[in-house]
Structure 1
Amino acid sequence: MQPSGPDLNAQPLRFLSAYWTVWQGLGSRLQQALQHEHDLDLRTFIVLSHLQEAPVNPSQLAGTLDLPRYEIARVLRCLEERQALTRAPQASDARRHTLHVTASGAALWRAALHTAEQSAAPAVTALGPDLDALTVALERLTRLTHPHPEATP
């Protein structure tokens, strides 16, 4: 007798499979909408979103987003070419730069955010009152998997 395959309904495989499937569907739909409407990929949109909060340096951004510095550099070059951000030397260390969103970068982000909200609307609506609980649970997982993102140099 052949051994049976994995039980796809057992945890954690059930969770991982559901997470994967949701991410593929939402991520793909969002990626297509952002590309079509704003010529942005999802990663660039997320980076631009984080830049809205306050000026940061590229290393801080890489740590927060858990992305390699070379990937952050690629995204930042793209945003600079689009005149969505500028770099200014830090007063304490002229070798380091602080990233600042331009007015056109803020406008691009607002338009892309509207597109993202429209793209995510079916999922948000389907979750209804469960949205906040799911978000809190995912944020808790984020803290477990990335306990100190600001510690990245």
Structure 2
Amino acid sequence: MLSVSLPSSPDLQAQPLRFLAAYWGVWQVMSTRLHTALERQHGLDLRTFIALSYVQAGPITPAELARQLKVPRYEVARILRRLDDLHAIARRRDPADARSHELHTEPLGQVLWAGAMQTVQAVTAPALSTLNTDLDPLTAALERLAALSPEDQP
């Protein structure tokens, strides 16, 4: 058994606690504001909006959507059920694999996504504008962390 000397109290300014606390704070503020605005104005939660964004970007299979969102397929099924209820998406046979379906955005889904995207931009603009030139490097760094597979992590 390894013997590790731990401080008697946490230093909240030391890494990784500083990073985790900042990440948590940003997530709490941004996601709460976005969730409230998206739900009130468009009947979407943040997760469903992000899923609709992937479908809006082009045909995608449910399995690929699950990989992109980093959630189990059963969770994607719930998200897709919500988008089906909103008549936002359609499922079509994958031309490359008849056993698979691709997800496509329906006209109502395109309108829903466009309106929701305007809401997302309006809600996030004040906070993100404070980052100025730091936004792209910060986003790139977070994307690198998100891309780590479980095998890459200690």
TM-score, reference length from structure 1: 0.88
Q: Does 1:119 align with 2:123?
A: yes
Cα distance in structure 2, aligned partners of 1:123 and 1:20: 15
Is 1:28 the counterpart of 2:44? The answer is no
Q: Does 1:144 align with 2:140?
A: no
Distance 1:18 1:103, change over 3 A: same
Match of 1:16 in 2: 20
Q: Which has the higher contact order (CA 8 A, sep 6+)?
A: 1
Q: 1:59 aligns with which of 42, 57, 63?
A: 63
Q: Which runs of 5+ in 1 are unaligned?
A: 148-153
Matched, 1:82 2:86: yes
Aligned partners of 2:54 and 2:60 also within 8 Å? no
Alignment of 1:96-111 (within 5 A): 96-111=100-115
**Deviation larger for 137-146 or 21-30:** 137-146
Tell me how far 1:144 sits from its aligned partner.
Answer: 2.5
Instruction: Rate the CA distance shift 1:35–1:145 in 2: closer, same or farther, 3 A.
Output: same
- Tell me the amino acid that sits aligned with residue 81 of structure 1: D
Distance in 2 (alpha carbons) for counterparts of 1:145 and 1:123: 29
Query: Is 1:128 matched with 2:132?
Result: yes
| TM-superposed deviation, 1:54 | 1.2
Structure 2 residues not aligned, in runs of 5+: 1-6
The worse-fitting range, judged by mean Cα deviation, of 116-125 and 132-141 is 132-141
Q: Which runs of structure 1 show a deviation greater than 4 angstroms over 4 or more consecutive aligned residues?
A: none
User: 1:40 matched to which residue of 2?
Assistant: 44
Offset at residue 48 of structure 1 (A): 0.2
What code does the residue aligned with 2:132 have? G
1:51 is aligned with what amino acid? Answer: V
Cα deviation per residue 1:27-51 (whole Å; 9 max; x = unaligned)? 1000000001001001100000011
Question: What letter is aligned with 1:91?
Answer: P
- How far off its partner does 1:92 sit? 4.3
- Aligned AA for 1:117? Q
CA distance in 2, matches of 1:93, 1:133: 38
